[in-house]
Chains A and B, each alone.
Chain A
Amino acid sequence: MIRLEHISHHYAKEPVLHDISLQIEANSFNIISGESGSGKSTLLSVISTLLTPSKGKLFFDKTQSTQIKNMDIFRNRHIGFVFQFHYLISHLTVYENIALVSRKSKKDAQEVLKKLGILDLENKYPDEISGGQRQRAAIARAIINQPKYIFADEPTGSLDSKNSQIVFDILRELDATVVVATHELGYAQKDDTMITLKDGRLC
């Protein structure tokens, strides 16, 4: 479970998030939606610990984020992140990008790549594969350590509809709490928890 208490954030003097309190249940599929500039990505960055909020508290289960002794280890073990533009490290191969963060064996990494249908690309560099394949590689990197929480920021933003559907299908199959920031509500399902933002506030 993730809990946010009175989270606010501003870049320089420009406020982006206003007093947001919410709770995300374990193993739920959550979609943060809203218009462009509504604060979706900022909220996702705060929830995923990639951005320290200007105000407010963030809890993972009962532990406040500021009380976590080693945030790097926490992120590595419990959090997986999928970015809009994959953000694979360009001088590393697909496998090396995964191995860089992996706490698992090479066999496990190859198993994940196989599951995502990109095992044959393990020795390719990011600029040698398609956008959809890159995003699947990024998902492989995010899930390799079997994290409790998966965060995805516009994961289909640079993909065609076919690849977008594949990405959503993969995310839904994960045994984790998944939070996706997206403006494409066409991939949302009835059981999903919707978190809607407008001008940095919860609607």
Chain B
Amino acid sequence: MFKSFLRYKYKSILILISAVAAIASIFLITALGNGIISMYASMLKTDGDIIVMQKGVADTFFSDINRSLLAPIANIKGVATAQGVIVGAGAIESIPIAGIYGVTDNRMSNYHLTRGHYPKGIEVMIGESIATILNYPKQIHLMGKTFQVSGIYQSDIGFENGGVVIPIAQAQTLFHKSASFLLVSLDKITQNTDSVIRKIQHLNPDIEVKSTTEFIDNYNQFKIIRISSGVIASISFFMGFLAIVSLMSMMINDRRYEFGIKRAMGISKFKIIRDVILEVLVLTLIAFFIAYGVSLVLLNVLEHIDKFQGYLSGEIDARLFITLLIGSTFMAMLGAAIPAWIAARIDPIILINKGQ
């Protein structure tokens, strides 16, 4: 059944490469969109069951909250830790923009140090990506101020690995706020997050308290990213699937002559269509898994290109994998089955004469 692929190796390889390119482009575009959301969500979820922000400010970058709330929050029953974070961005040496994270001392240990020690005073620790780009500097200029580099940390989250972490008091002098948000983690025995949220809310009417999961689901920035990445992914899906449909249609139309001969010899139209669909299914599955592998490799390469500071981190989750697997095989089979079905309804001699 698959001898036609083997006999026309050059043509088959070209079709396979085109299908791989179409599927891989869908994987990459969607994965990179997902990755941005996933990275930021992972940052918030680290030691954060609950997030406390300034009331009425939807964006963590613009939120300003007094970190003096940390002590009363930490005293609430069921709370394990309460940490303060300032999120900002600025120029670091030759790098035009990078993430700057001001964190309280009790959050420092979330960063895995690979050398040196956690920063104190006017020290900073820098992510591996930044350290590599700046050739492991001893000091850095951050938004016009000089800091000693106390250590280097490694993080699986690209935004963190390509950023710097400073004590929150120093971040306050740079960004002129006490904290962007507070992250509260609960102890293992506390099951009722809502009760803790209510208690935190009682502390100050000017704050907004949400579970991190709820916040991530409703975060405006994520919505914007999700919508834009959804639109881009949809266009990419459409273009990719259109390419797959066109490729398979072309491949089948090229074989109308062969179908004509087969029908003239009495091979049933259903067997012809079935064989075609099986051939295309196998070809598409091979292309899909190659595209998946290629995408993983490319995403890994993109993540480790110094220029991108690790900010380009793609994520292929099970949902994307399955959607793309079903979508690409369905579209490929549709692309093959329609011309095959049309061909099967035409008189054999016309197929042979026109297909020559």
Q: Does B47 contact A (CB under 8 A)?
A: no
Q: Are A89 and B258 in contact (CB under 8 A)?
A: yes
Distance to closest chain B CB from A66 (angstroms): 14
B1-33, CB under 8 A of A: which get 1 and which 0? Answer: 001101110000000000000000000000000
Choose the segment among A15-23, A45-53, A163-171, A185-193 that binds chain B (4+ C-beta atoms closer than 8 Å).
Answer: A45-53
List, in ascending order, chain B residues with CB within 8 A of A91's CB: 3-4, 6-8
Q: Contact residues of A with B, CB < 8 Å? A: 45, 50-52, 70, 72-77, 79, 81, 83, 87, 89-92, 96, 100-101, 125, 141
What residue of chain A has the Cβ atom nearest to residue B7's Cβ? Answer: A91
List, in ascending order, chain B residues with CB within 8 A of A75's CB: 263-266
Choose the segment among B49-57, B174-182, B346-354 that binds chain A (4+ C-beta atoms closer than 8 Å).
Answer: B346-354
Distance to closest chain B CB from A157 (angstroms): 14
Distance to closest chain B CB from A107 (angstroms): 20
- Give bound CA distance, A70 to B270, whole Å: 12
- Report if A76-B265 is in contact (Cβ < 8 Å); known contacts: A89-B258, A91-B3, A92-B3: yes
- Report if A87-B267 is in contact (Cβ < 8 Å); known contacts: A51-B347, A92-B3, A100-B262: no
Q: Does B221 contact A (CB under 8 A)?
A: no
Q: Contact residues of B with A, CB < 8 Å? A: 3-4, 6-8, 257-258, 261-269, 347-350, 352
Q: Are B266 and A100 in contact (CB under 8 A)?
A: no
| Contact for B266 among A79, A89, A90, CB less than 8 A | A79
Distance to closest chain A CB from B263 (angstroms): 7
Q: How many A-B residue pairs have CB under 8 A?
A: 55
User: What are 23 of the A-B contact pairs (CB < 8 Å)?
Assistant: A50-B264, A50-B349, A52-B347, A70-B268, A72-B263, A72-B267, A73-B266, A76-B266, A77-B266, A79-B266, A81-B264, A81-B265, A87-B257, A87-B264, A87-B352, A89-B262, A91-B4, A91-B6, A96-B3, A100-B265, A100-B267, A101-B265, A125-B7
- Give bound CA distance, A75 to B269, whole Å: 12
- Give bound CA distance, A60 to B8, whole Å: 40
Q: Are B261 and A72 in contact (CB under 8 A)?
A: no
What residue of chain B has the Cβ atom nearest to residue A144's Cβ? Answer: B265
List, in ascending order, chain B residues with CB within 8 A of A141's CB: 265
Distance to closest chain A CB from B215 (angstroms): 59
Q: Are B267 and A101 in contact (CB under 8 A)?
A: yes
List 3 A-B pairs, minimum CB-CB distance, nearest first.
Answer: A76-B266, A91-B7, A75-B266
What 9 new A-B contacts, CB under 8 Å, besides A89-B262, A91-B4? A50-B349, A51-B348, A52-B347, A74-B266, A76-B266, A91-B3, A92-B3, A101-B265, A101-B267
List, in ascending order, chain A residues with CB within 8 A of B7's CB: 90-91, 125
Q: Are A89 and B261 in contact (CB under 8 A)?
A: yes
List, in ascending order, chain B residues with CB within 8 A of A79's CB: 266
List, in ascending order, chain A residues with CB within 8 A of B352's CB: 83, 87
What residue of chain B has the Cβ atom nearest to residue A92's Cβ? Answer: B3
What residue of chain B has the Cβ atom nearest to residue A102's Cβ? Answer: B265
Distance to closest chain B CB from A176 (angstroms): 15
Q: Are A45 and B349 in contact (CB under 8 A)?
A: yes
Task: Choose among B258, B266, B268 the residue with the greatest number of A CB atoms under 10 Å from its CB.
Answer: B266
Distance to closest chain B CB from A163 (angstroms): 21
What residue of chain B has the Cβ atom nearest to residue A86's Cβ? Answer: B261
- Report if A72-B349 is in contact (Cβ < 8 Å); known contacts: A50-B264, A90-B7: no
Distance to closest chain B CB from A141 (angstroms): 7
List, in ascending order, chain B residues with CB within 8 A of A87's CB: 257, 261, 264, 352
